[in-house]
Chain A
Amino acid sequence: MNSSELLSVVTFIYGISAFLYVASWVFKKQTPAKIAKWAGILAVAANLAGFILRWVESYRLGIGHAPLSNMYESLVFFAMTIGVIYLFIEQRYHSAIIGVFSMPIAFLAMAYASLSPSVSDRIQPLIPALKSNWLIAHVITCFFGYAAFAVAFGISILYLMKQKGTDEKSGLRSHLPGAGFLDELTHRMVLFGFLFLTIGIITGAVWANSAWGTYWSWDPKETWSLITWFIYATLLHARMMRGWHGKKIAYLSIIGFVAVLFTYFGVNYLPGLHSYGAS
């Protein structure tokens, strides 16, 4: 089995895990969530195996490089980081229900990688601009940031659903974790994401300076990462200094994640230097 086939299976397992989390929530049963967690662990393990296998395959092809060089490879890594971060917080806070919106994002990322005709799963050699030790540091930190923001986004949606139904005792909202807990968890995820986004932008700047001779050139991808940074910086200042919490923070976290998505995908439709991320 080659890495692409293995990663297609991974997509399927993420799908099962996501489905079971949602089922556990809708039918108010604990068992599916437990199975979902194990499916999630299996998916992440297989995802990692696929990632390593692809790395090995590239060396067999004589064009060895870390599989972080194009859209397909970044989506595979993105799904893995979401899985890892989500499972970590489930373990730490003993709350399975927050997976309702996190696992589906990992599944969608893998499904897009495996199924979209515009995303090629061919292993391609590195073009001169990407041949740098900064590639690994830059991509890994950026994607840990993106993944933390994705999980924060998932929790914010849960929070807003919880808020809507505080007066209704029945329904899907009643057995969600406490609103205060969700609010605090969103904040923790944003802190984590912000640190990694910052390191990601900085490693990118240092790399740009050694490749193009300038650490900042207002290229659309750079600019959009800065826009994302500004939005989360707003969230953090509003919360820490003005005491914003709850709905306002949830909305800012959602807007921030939209900016993340645009930085990741949308920028490929704009002209600029980062074009190798596109296909």
Chain B
Amino acid sequence: MKNKNQIWKFFVSVKLTVVLLLSLAATSIIGTVIPQNESPEAYFRTYGAFLYRLFDLLNIFDMYHSWWFQLLLILLILNIVICSIDRLAATWKIIFPKETSFKPERFRKLADNEVFTSSKTPEELKDDFAGVVARDFGKSRIEKTETGFCIFAEKWRWTRLGVYIVHLSVIFMIVGAIIGSIFGFNGFVAIPEGETVSQIHLRNSNAMQQLAFSIRCDDFDVSFYKNGAPKEFRSSLTILQNDKEVLKKDVIVNDPLRYAGINIFQSSYGELRPEQPAPQAFSTDDIHLNFSIASSGMVYKRKAEIGKPIVIPEGNGQFVLMAFQPSAEFMGQNIGEALVGILTPPGGEPVQVLLPIHFPNFDKMRRGQVVISVVPPHDHTTVPANPAEKRYYTGLQVTKDPGVWVVYFGFMVMIAGIVITFFMSHQRLCVEVAQQGKKTQIMVAGTANKNKLGMEKKLQKIARHLSEKE
């Protein structure tokens, strides 16, 4: 029992909240500085053997899913839940008391009360005053005193629950995220125009996911603005169920297709060579690269060897081939055999360039001054592709997340909860009217559990309105 109290005490402290929030803030920085989920080779090259092993041990390369980061999140959740439970009982008593009582003495003691006098008698003022109070507080209650009367009013008692609403919203988001990670998936698929698929690659593993339907890509279209920036990526998709067409839709970025709980997003695209040649074994002894210079429109072919720098013509810096990857990935998508190199533009920072062997136009996406492509192994002469025969594949992101509505519900609850917690307070007002000789003295006093500055202003306003009635 004593042990249990110790644990409870640990989790009930706001100090723990502060420590956890700041630890989460501080550690989150790591993953924004060190790129996440890249290939081990890339990390090894960047950080060297020692740091690589150290970071790998600490899961730095996938830190947001590491045991220690998840542990911080779990501790925060426990902290939120236990703090809320611990304090809710006391709050509940305030919100739903057995009997509500007002004591004018308590209000008289308050520092910021407003006092003024009137020549009318308390009876004459009563109805007008009750009206002014009702305008802001709705219901009020008038009690007779020896020398006059007191008007008591209060509102928004329930807003004391606001903070629990916010905390509850966090729980909704977490539950939604857990539902998503257990029952959902996140994958991708590349479909050449005219072809149909019913399986997708899962993103966090190399496993395939069978869909309950098939997707056919009827057409892919990319358009550009005059300045060369992409305008629209459009995939015309057909959903087939048992070879029957059930749904047709043009999917563009920001407008996905949703079918049977599965969402299909436009994600990437690429060009296929006309009558796709059978992939040949790629030999690293015989690599030729094409360098297309944007400004002059010239294309230069150079023989390349791994590790040997190539000077790019027309003073466009240099290029070093670093490695051959038999199965490269880009944005989570397998793009097959590829070369990786470092391009150093004149006077610029070196950039890593990915050159998929089967997608010669891939490097155009980088929008650099130089576009580099691998000359296909079977064909060392550069034949410009006939635009009429251009064939594309579309890259689609395919997801299922049954938890998303729980998360969205959490979002709405959080916004509502924050508005209640920050901008609404439990306010109590007391207007005491007392005959003092020939004159009547009026005192306006009140309390609020939040935003005292705002309550002070409100009391001044009510006092002003009351004195106008006089």
Binding site for B on A (CB under 8 A): 63, 124-125, 127-129, 131-132, 181, 184, 188, 191-192, 194-195, 198-199, 202, 205-206, 209-216, 218, 220, 223-224, 226-227, 230-231, 233-234, 237-238, 241-242, 259, 267, 270-272
Contacts and interface: CB of A to CB of B under 8 A. Distances in A.
Interface of B: 14-15, 17-18, 21-22, 24-25, 28-29, 31-33, 35-36, 64, 177, 186, 225, 227, 229-233, 252-256, 263, 265-267, 397-399, 401, 404, 407-408, 411, 414-415, 418-419, 422-423, 451-453
B233 A128 contact: yes
Contact of B229 (A125, A132, A192, A230): A125
Given A125-B225, A211-B254, A227-B25, A202 B230 contact: no
A127 B422 contact: no
B32 A198 contact: no
A128 B224 CA distance: 10
B397 A213 contact: yes
What 6 A-B pairs come out closest when comparing CB atoms? A128-B253, A230-B25, A220-B32, A241-B14, A213-B399, A132-B254
Contacts of B227: 124-125
A212 B407 contact: no
B254 A210 contact: yes
Contacts of B399: 213-214
Contact of A195 (B17, B267, B419): B419
Nearest to A192: B422
Contact of B407 (A124, A215, A218, A233): A215
Contacts of A192: 422
Given A124-B229, A195-B419, A198-B415, A223 B453 contact: no
B171 to A, nearest CB: 16
Contacts of A131: 252-254
B232 to A, nearest CB: 6
B457 to A, nearest CB: 9
9 contacts: A128-B253, A129-B254, A181-B453, A198-B415, A218-B31, A223-B31, A230-B22, A230-B24, A238-B18
Contacts of A210: 254-256
B29 A271 contact: no
B36 A218 contact: yes
Contact of A233 (B15, B21, B253): B21
